[in-house]
């Protein structure tokens, strides 16, 4: 039986598929299976996928006649998975060599860990391909549900994402399918469910590369700060109303998560106002106080230290405000 099953959901990313598959093969884990699920692409994706499968018998292709959406592709992978571990790699993203080996080292040793997740590097396609240096990096932190949820509701100097995670298949089968009502951050919602009564392992070592291009499915959320926060809240709401409903301390954790999301909305609002976007800025501030009413009275100064390069961030926003004022 193969050790790792990898599903690649795809829609019109035929130009990226060979790179995604090559990055998986370079993981130096021989015992793998790869399932490419194509969602009725209108480009040459199916031909590319079948060509890859012809050259490597570990690759299987499912070509749908109509687009059933990303969740259906991921859930097809969940149903198909039969190996010890499971991963999802989007067709436009890449794995970093050595990531699977690092994740396997902790999953094979720590049997109460449901998934091991590395960091993702954001690569804008128009820029030179990044050189990833992971030497000396790779210490693992082990988080229970509460710590994991709080971390994911705050900004992080390191980006974590589903493409950089290796999941224990038995735990994946236990929690079930990705929920179709979660339009964004479906990987976060799954990780929250996986972490319940188990542990999550995270490392700052870069395991994945997230490609940013003109046709990213998540682009609409990246460009709308409030919608991004709203969707994150809906993700946490799903978790708290289902698996975590009976978890001890769930209500306190929910309020803490809401406050963290409110802090982000608060400073995003002030940033928008400083850049002259007053309507959207005040809308974000109102949303912040809806999430955590105390933010109307006490500015969340502690949030700023969580930002990457907080001093540079503050200087940049002050400079923008000053230039607009004068």
Where are the chain's structural domains?
4-212, 248-325
Rounded to the nearest angstrom, the gap between the alpha carbon of residue 76 and the centroid of all alpha carbons in its chain is 19
Give the confidence band of 318 by pLDDT, cuts at 50, 70, 90: low
- Of 146, 154, 156, 247, the residue nearest 192 (C-alpha): 146
For residue 60, give Cα distances in angstroms to 56, 63, 227, 231, 279. Answer: 9, 10, 36, 33, 50
In this structure, of 75-84, 110-119, 123-132, 151-160, the range with the lowest mean pLDDT score is 151-160
CA–CA dist 26, 146 (Å, integer)? 35
CA–CA gap between residue 124 and residue 18 (Å, rounded): 18
pLDDT of residue 40: 95
Q: What is residue 42's predicted lDDT score, i.e. its pLDDT?
A: 96
Q: How much is the pLDDT for 128?
A: 86
Name which residue leads in pLDDT, 166 or 133.
166
How much is the pLDDT for 130?
83
C-alpha closest to that of 226 among 160, 178, 159, 271: 271
CA distances (Å), origin 125, targets 9, 81, 155, 262: 20, 31, 24, 32
Cα–Cα distance for residue pair 3/294, rounded to 1 Å: 49
Give 16's strand partners: none
- Across the chain, mean pLDDT equals 89
Q: Could you tell me the pLDDT band of residue 325, with boundaries at 50, 70 and 90? A: very low
Mean pLDDT for 65-71 is: 93
Among 112, 105, 103, 216, which residue's Cα sits nearest to residue 160? 103
Q: What is the pLDDT of residue 129?
A: 85
The model's pTM: 0.89
Q: At 30, is the pLDDT very low, low, confident or very high (cuts 50, 70, 90)? A: confident
Tell me the C-alpha distance between 280 and 8, whole Å.
37
Structure-token match 């399932």, residue found: 35
- Band of residue 326 on the pLDDT scale cut at 50, 70, 90: very low
Pick the CATH number of 4-212 from 3.30.450.20, 3.90.550.10, 3.40.50.2300, 3.40.50.300: 3.90.550.10
Is the model's pLDDT at 276 over the cut of 50? yes
């Amino acid at each position: 039986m193969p050790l790792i099953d990898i599903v690649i959901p795809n829609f019109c990313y035929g130009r990226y598929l060979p790179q995604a598959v090559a990055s998986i093969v370079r993981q130096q884990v021989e015992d793998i299976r790869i399932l490419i699920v194509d969602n009725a692409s209108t480009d040459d994706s199916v031909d590319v996928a079948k060509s890859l499968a012809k050259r490597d018998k570990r690759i299987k292709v499912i070509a749908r006649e109509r687009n059933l959406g990303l969740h259906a592709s991921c859930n097809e992978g969940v149903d198909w998975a039969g190996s010890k571990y499971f991963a999802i790699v989007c067709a436009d993203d890449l794995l970093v060599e050595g990531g699977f080996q690092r994740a396997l080292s902790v999953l094979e040793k720590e049997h109460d860990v449901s998934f091991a997740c590395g960091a993702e590097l954001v690569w804008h396609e128009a820029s030179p391909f990044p050189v990833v240096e992971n030497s000396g990096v790779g210490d693992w932190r082990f988080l229970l549900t509460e710590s994991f949820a709080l971390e994911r509701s705050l900004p992080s100097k390191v980006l974590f994402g589903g493409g950089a995670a290796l999941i224990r298949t038995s735990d994946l089968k236990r929690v079930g399918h990705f929920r179709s009502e979660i339009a964004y951050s479906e990987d976060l919602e799954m990780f929250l469910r996986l972490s319940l009564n188990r542990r999550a392992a995270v490392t700052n070592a870069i395991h994945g590369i997230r490609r940013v291009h003109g046709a990213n499915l998540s682009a609409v959320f990246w460009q709308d700060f409030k919608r991004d926060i709203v969707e994150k809240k809906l993700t946490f709401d799903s978790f708290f109303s289902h698996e975590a409903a009976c978890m001890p301390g769930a209500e306190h954790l929910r309020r803490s998560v809401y406050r963290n999301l409110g802090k982000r909305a608060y400073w995003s609002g002030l940033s928008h106002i400083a850049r002259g976007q007053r309507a959207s800025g005040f809308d974000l501030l109102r949303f912040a106080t809806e999430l955590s009413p105390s933010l109307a009275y006490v500015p969340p100064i502690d949030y700023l230290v969580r930002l990457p390069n907080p001093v540079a961030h503050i200087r940049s926003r002050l400079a923008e405000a000053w230039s607009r004022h004068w």
